[in-house]
Structures are given as structure tokens and as C-alpha cells.
A and B are shown apart, each in its own frame.
Chain A
Amino acid sequence: MSTDQLRLRAPRHRVSRKSITLWTLHAVIGWTVLLVPQLVALVFSRSPWQVTAVVATLVVGVAHTLVMPRWRYRVHRWEATPDAVYTLAGWLNQEWRIAPVSRIQTVDTKRGPLQQLLGLSTVTVTTASAAGPVHIEGLDHDEAVRLADELTTTTQATPGDAT
């Protein structure tokens, strides 16, 4: 065995910087949903347990909301070569996905309400595998459309039924 260490290099492109805002909003919404019922309950009764729970939720929530989006932004990357689509996503747990262009079945772009607000899009590339869709989250909408078009064109040029 050689001393060489093999590693996956990071994909070439970062996602849009506005993704930080998107993830922050997601986190804020999630933690609010958790916090509000606790605060409502606090109005009616005030046991030390409840106060501890509220404080804990607040601390963890604020930390998560501050750290997660920036961390994610540093991790999330994507790249589309003529042969493959390559992505890296996650923060604590990270995942690389590689799908060869010759095996692509569909290319979709999708935007939720928050993404529309920020002008972002998610590109989803599916293969014949039930487990293999590749998502590129948080692209600028124009860029997403361009990428989807590009992938669709190359996919159509590839013969075979992609299984």
C-alpha cells in the first residue's frame, strides 16, 4: 500500500451566497415552531423544568441558526462536467453524489416560496436508481435554468435507456 492518500476534491462551484439567508430562514422557522408552544405553556404555568427547556431551546436554536448556514455555505458545492454531475452537501454529516450524465433520466428545477423570494432554485437530477437523485440546492434561478437546459441537451444526445 502506498502512502498516498486518496481524497475527493471539492466540486468547482459554490452555491449562491443568498443560500445563507435561505438556510437561516429555514432554521428560524423551525426553531420558532418549537419555541412558541413552549412560551404559550409558560404563560399558564412556570415550573423550573419548563424554564430550563425554554432556555435550552433558545441557546441551541440561536447557535444552530448562526452556525449552520455559514458552515453549509462553506461545504455545499457542485460541478457539472460533460460526463458527470458531482455535488457535495451537508455540514456535520457530508455527502458527495456522483451521477454519470449517460445515466440521467430527468432534470427538474424547483423553487419553494422562500426560494422564489430570494431568486433561488433547486436543480434535481434523477437517475434510474430509487436512491440516487442528485440535488443542487440554492442556485441562482438563471444559473439553475441554464444548467438544467444544458443537462437536458446532453442527456438527450446520449443513447440508451439509462438503466
Chain B
Amino acid sequence: MTTSPPDRPASPQDYPDHPASPLDLPPAPEPPAPVVDWHRLDVRMLVVRPLNEIINLVPVFLGLLVLGRGETWRVLASVGVIVAIVLLGLLRWVTTRYRITADQVELHTGLFVRKRLAVPRERIRTVDLTAKLGHRLFGLSAIRVGTGQRDQPGEDGLTLDAVSSAEAERLRVLLLTRTAAPTDSAQPDERPGTVLSALDTRWLRYAPLTLSGLVAVGALFGLVTNYARELDVEVLGPLTEAAHWVVEQPLWLTVSLFAGAVVVIAGVGSVLVYLVQFWGYRLTREPDDTVRVQRGLLTTRSVSVAEQRLRGVEVEEPLLLRAGRGAHAKTVTTGLGRKGESNLLLPPAPITEAHRVSGLVLRQETPPTRTPLRRHPLAALRRRLVRAVVPLLVVAAVLAYLAPPWAWVPLTLLPLSALLGWDRYRSLGHALTDRYLLARQGSLIRETVALQRTGIIGWRISRSFFQRRSGLVTISATTAAGDGAYPVVDVAETDGLALADEAVPDLLRPFLERDSG
């Protein structure tokens, strides 16, 4: 049991000019008077966390209680699990405390393994509020504070799970304003943000083009069969019978039935997934100069990014979505967790909307992602085609040797593969605007990135044996944000180096040489 006083003294050398105990506070502290005493997480978490975990375990309880015949061990096991979950929740609540001083956000947690996290406030890049269903019922939100620190993998910033939604909102403004200007941050700015974009129900037609339905169908099928086996339910029996019936029909009927069923279920599934993920989507610019994305039907999320930490925008067009003239967009920024698509800027929507949003978010008159791109040399096309064709030819040759009757199969894929190679070449492009470096690549997922030139913190220029023979190089701009490096693939050596030299003046210049030829 640790019921230590709330004003546990912190090591004084950490914050010499901020006394640890509120009792010793000088009469008039500096203008921003942030919370200095320790806070616990919201007391409602005692209910919410166990509830969330129990909801996740519902199938197990079903298996234990409903499907059994009320044997004692099943009941006891269920009660035991619930008690353990509640106790763990209590322990966590008792041992977790946080406070926000003028300089840092601190979190102490854990009983057996005590963890003390401190994040300097000037390093805070993003604030991510997530409210799962259980949280929402009780008016709570979890806050994740993201910094640009990438040294320790798995170290995903600092999370307060959870505080009341009002407190979360207050903290969001407090934590992000500090970086902009030391104004009166105790009084959160109540002005509403400017809406840059909001969900349009017509965007739902892009849902079936995202394949998320297909993934959902697969996951659902896996889940059902898995639990069916665990819970001794004969789901497979009727399914097997249906399958037998289907197989007895003519082949064309079977194939079209199956394909039809998958398409319909996947279509419906993808619309549902889209709604669950993006319901209530709103992209706003808040008065404190942050860009904020809110979304979610069941679990609501709100991700705020300090605008001065925004390094660019990436527009993604997966092949199917591209065929429907759609796209989705991501921010390129430091300090966002990698899980849960926290860098989402725009859900699948018309490509025109993606461009519009990228222009608005980056405060550019003409969207940088619309900049006409320079094509790459034909040698790049040759490389794409060789890569598309040669592996298939090799496979065909091996098959011709090992299993001659099958050698034709890879050859039938040749036209498709070549087409893909050609499309990959068509996607390649780069450009430079006065503030952004543009690079585009990819066919199955075409990615166009607009990277702030001042956000580039180095170059990697690679040249493989074959690239050297074709006079090409791949130039990657490294940055602290997003993927870490954004490549301009297979560009002519002179063009690429000129591009890099122009994008970041004086960095590459001392290492360049010219020879007339």
C-alpha cells in the first residue's frame, strides 16, 4: 500500500526555481501559473479500466458462463478474473500520479516497478486524446503527449490514462500553448478553431475502394472460427454443408457466387469500418496554432499537432482508390505514435479534397502537392520494366526445368506486371517549390510527399551497381518527422544533386564538383 502524500518532494536539483511543495510557493509566481501539485488520474478510472478490459474479455466470459452448464469452476474462474482486473485497476490508480510544472510534465507510476517519466514541455510536439467506449460513457479521455524523441524504440511518449474530458481539453490547450507564446495559459483560449475540412457523407463511396472491408471480413472470419472452436459451437457445420452444396453447382456459378458474396460483404464491411473510424471527422486549426483532427464513432480521437512542428503532408493513393480518383492524406510530423494511424489528416476522400487540405494545412495558396512534377529519365523506366519482367522469366525458366507443364503460368502475368512497372515509372517525379520538396513514387500505393525544406536534416545518396551503369541515383532527404527519410527514386545524377543542393542551400555545395562533359 502506498498512500504517500500528494506533494512528495521531487529532487530539488531538477527544478531549482520551482519548489516542489505548493506550501513553499513564493507569493507571486511567474505569469503562467501551471499546476504544480500532484494529481491522480480521474477516480472514475476505477470503473472504466476494468470495464474496458471486461468488455474485451466478453467472449471468454461467454465461454465460461453461458456455454458451460453452470459448473462451479467456471463461475469461480470468472469471478476470479473480474476481481483480479478490479484490483489491478485500483493498484494502478493508487500508484499513478502526474503533475505539470512550468518546465515539464511528470508521471510516476507502478508499484513493483516504479516508473518516473518526465517530459520537458518545450519538447512537446503533439497531444493525442483518445476516448474508448468505456471512457466515453464516463466522460473521460486518455492523453498521450508526444515528443520528438526517437532514441528509444517502443518509448511512445507519455500517456495519462485517463482524466476527465474537461481536464483533458484544458491540458491539451495548456501543453501546446506553452510552445507558442507564454500567454495567460491558465485561461484556456475558448475561441473555436477554423474548420478546414469535415466529413462529407459522399466520401463513403470511397470506402469500398480501401480494401479495409476485405481485411475486416478476413478478421471476422478468423475470429468467428477461432471462438467457435473455443466455445464448442458448431458454426463450421452449417458452413461446411453450404460449402458442399456450393461445390456441387457448376464451376462458373460457384465462382460467381463466391466472388459476389465476398464483394457484397466486403463492401458493406468497408463502409462500416469507414464509419467507425471516421465518423465525426473534423480538421480544424485551433487559435493556439495547432492543427487538430477529431474523428471516431465508438472510440473518439483528437490529435493535435503544433503547427511549427509540422514538416509536411503526404498524400497516399492506393491503386483502387486512385482508380476512383480518391486519396487520403497524412501529416509529416515529429512526436506522433506509430500505432493507430495518429498521423491521419484526411480519410479516403476525393483527390481534390486531399490537395485542398494539404494546401490549407501548410498555409500555401496553391497546394504544394499539386505542383507539376519533373519526370525521371527513361533509364528509370527501363529499371522498372526489368524488375517487373526478369523475376517472372526466372520463375518460368525454373518451372520449365522442374515442372514443364506449369511454365506458362508466370508468363501470363507478364503483361500485368509490365503494366505495373510502367505505372511505377509514371508515378516517379520530383519538384521543388520555394518552401517544399516534392517527391512521388509507387504504384500499388502511390505516395506524394511535400516535405518542408527547412525540415531536411541531412541527405543519403545511394547508387547501386545497376543505377551507376544507368547514371541514376536515389536521393533521400532525412528528417526528424514521419518516416525519417523520404526518397527521390532513380533520378539522373546531375538533376538529383542539383535538386538537393537547391533544396538545402550550402549543405551539399562543398562536396559537389562539376566536370564538363
Give the interface size class of chain B: 35 or more
Q: How long is the Cα–Cα vector from A107 to B472 in the complex, in angstroms?
A: 32
Q: Is the interface of A mostly helix, strand, loop or mixed?
A: strand
Give the residues in chain B near A86, CB-CB below 8 Å: 511
Give the residues in chain B near A3, CB-CB below 8 Å: 516-517
Q: Mark A43-83, 1 if CB is under 8 A from B, else 0.
A: 00000000000000000000000000000000000010101
Task: Quote the shortest CB–CB distance from B309 to chain A (angstroms).
Answer: 8
Q: How long is the Cα–Cα vector from A98 to B494 in the complex, in angstroms?
A: 17
Task: Enumerate B91-148 residues with CB–CB distance to A below 8 Å.
Answer: 122-123, 148
Q: Is the CB of B514 within 8 A of A93?
A: no
Among B67-75, B280-288, B478-486, the stretch in contact with A: B478-486
B443 is an interface residue with CB less than 8 A from chain A: no
Q: How long is the Cα–Cα vector from A5 to B28 in the complex, in angstroms?
A: 66
B358 is an interface residue with CB less than 8 A from chain A: no
Give the residues in chain B near A132, CB-CB below 8 Å: 457-458, 460, 478, 484-485
Give the residues in chain B near A9, CB-CB below 8 Å: 511-513
Among B80-88, B269-277, B461-469, the stretch in contact with A: B461-469
Q: Is the CB of B478 within 8 A of A161?
A: no
Residue of B nearest to A8 (CB): B511
A119 is an interface residue with CB less than 8 A from chain B: no
Known: A6-B497, A96-B459. A130 touches B515 (CB 8 A): no
Q: How long is the Cα–Cα vector from A134 to B151 in the complex, in angstroms?
A: 15
Q: Is the CB of B512 within 8 A of A8?
A: yes
Task: Quote the shortest CB–CB distance from A127 to chain B (angstroms).
Answer: 5
Residue of B nearest to A163 (CB): B480
Q: Is the CB of A97 within 8 A of B515?
A: no
Give the residues in chain A near B457, CB-CB below 8 Å: 99-100, 103, 127-129, 132, 162-163
- List 14 interface pairs A-B (beta carbons < 8 Å), by A numbering: A4-B494, A6-B513, A7-B497, A8-B461, A9-B513, A81-B510, A92-B465, A93-B465, A94-B462, A94-B468, A98-B460, A99-B458, A131-B476, A132-B457
Using CB atoms and an 8 Å cutoff, list the residues of chain B in contact with chain A.
122-123, 148, 150-151, 334, 457-465, 468, 476, 478-480, 483-485, 493-494, 497-498, 501, 506-508, 510-517
Closest 4 CB pairs of A and B: A130-B484, A131-B484, A128-B480, A131-B485
Using CB atoms and an 8 Å cutoff, list the residues of chain A in contact with chain B.
3-9, 11, 79, 81, 83-84, 86, 90, 92-100, 103, 105-106, 126-132, 134, 161-163
